[in-house]
C-alpha cells in the first residue's frame, strides 16, 4: 500500500484509487484515459478515482504503475471563460466571512484560475477547485428549495454552477447565461473534469 495510490476493493467489477487531493485525482483519471484503459467508467472524485466495469483489477493497477503526481500537467485542460453577473443573495455574507467587501469577493473569485475536478450532483455540475482553505464557506443550514439554473455558487472551497434548476445548499454569489449542459453537443458538459475555468465579471443582460 505504498506509493501515490491506495487501492480499495469495490465489489465484483470495480476498484477505487485513493490519492492525496482533487488535482491528483484529476491527473490520475486523465492519465488512465490517455493510457486507453478498458473500464466502462473512469470517475474522478475529490480524493479518489473510481474504475468501474473492470475485468482484471490487477492488470489495471499495473497499467497505472507509471502514474505519479504531476506526471500529467496540472494545467493542460482547455480554458473556458464564464461570464458572471455577481449579484447573488449570499455575496454579502461571503464578503463578511472573507473580511472584505463584495468587490473584494468578486476580485478574489475572478482572479483565481479554477479547475473542474469532477462532476456530480447533476449532469454537468462541476466541482471547481482552486480556492485556498482559508476561503472555505459553510453550506447553508437549510438548503433553498429552488436554485435557478446558471447560479454561480460556493461551498467549502468549491465553486460550482447549477446547470439546471434544483434544490441546493450552496452559497449563491452570481449567475451566468453560459450553456453548461447540452446532451446534444459533442461535449455535453461545458466544464468536464480537467477544464480550466475563469469567471469573468459582466454587468448584466
Residues that bind another protein (CB under 8 A): 8-14, 16, 29, 40-50, 52-53, 118-125, 127, 183, 188-189, 192-193
Beta carbon of residue 114, minimum distance to another protein (angstroms, whole number): 17
> Closest CB to another protein among 16 and 199?
16
Q: Which residues pair with 175 in a beta bridge?
A: 85, 151
Q: Distance between CA 13 and CA 54 in Å, rounded?
A: 5
Beta carbon of residue 105, minimum distance to another protein (angstroms, whole number): 24
> Closest CB to another protein among 13 and 107?
13
Beta carbon of residue 184, minimum distance to another protein (angstroms, whole number): 8
Beta carbon of residue 121, minimum distance to another protein (angstroms, whole number): 6
Reported residue count of the chain is 205
> Closest CB to another protein among 40 and 179?
40
Q: In degrees, to the nearest 5, what angle opens at C-alpha 127 toward C-alphas 183 and 119?
A: 35
> Closest CB to another protein among 44 and 88?
44
- Calculate the alpha carbon distances from 33 to 15, 56, 114 in Å: 15, 16, 22
Amino acid at each position: 500500500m505504498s506509493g501515490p495510490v491506495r487501492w480499495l476493493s469495490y465489489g465484483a467489477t470495480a476498484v477505487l484509487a485513493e490519492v492525496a487531493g482533487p488535482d491528483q485525482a484529476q491527473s490520475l483519471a486523465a492519465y488512465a484515459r490517455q493510457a486507453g484503459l478498458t473500464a466502462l467508467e473512469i470517475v474522478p472524485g475529490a480524493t479518489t478515482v473510481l474504475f468501474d466495469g473492470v475485468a482484471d483489477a490487477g492488470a489495471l493497477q499495473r497499467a497505472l504503475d507509471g502514474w505519479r503526481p504531476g506526471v500529467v500537467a496540472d494545467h493542460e485542460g482547455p480554458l473556458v471563460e464564464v461570464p458572471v453577473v455577481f449579484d447573488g443573495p449570499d455575496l454579502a455574507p461571503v464578503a463578511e466571512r472573507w473580511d472584505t467587501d463584495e468587490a473584494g469577493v468578486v476580485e478574489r473569485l475572478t482572479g483565481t484560475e479554477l479547475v473542474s475536478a469532477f462532476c456530480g450532483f447533476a449532469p454537468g455540475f462541476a466541482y471547481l477547485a482552486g480556492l485556498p482553505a482559508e476561503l472555505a464557506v459553510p453550506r447553508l443550514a437549510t438548503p433553498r428549495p429552488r436554485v435557478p439554473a446558471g447560479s454561480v455558487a460556493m461551498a467549502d472551497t468549491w465553486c460550482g454552477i447549477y446547470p439546471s434548476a434544483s434544490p441546493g445548499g450552496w452559497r449563491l454569489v452570481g449567475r451566468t447565461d453560459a450553456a453548461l449542459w447540452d446532451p446534444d453537443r459533442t461535449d455535453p458538459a461545458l466544464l468536464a473534469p480537467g477544464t480550466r475555468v475563469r469567471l469573468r465579471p459582466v454587468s448584466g443582460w
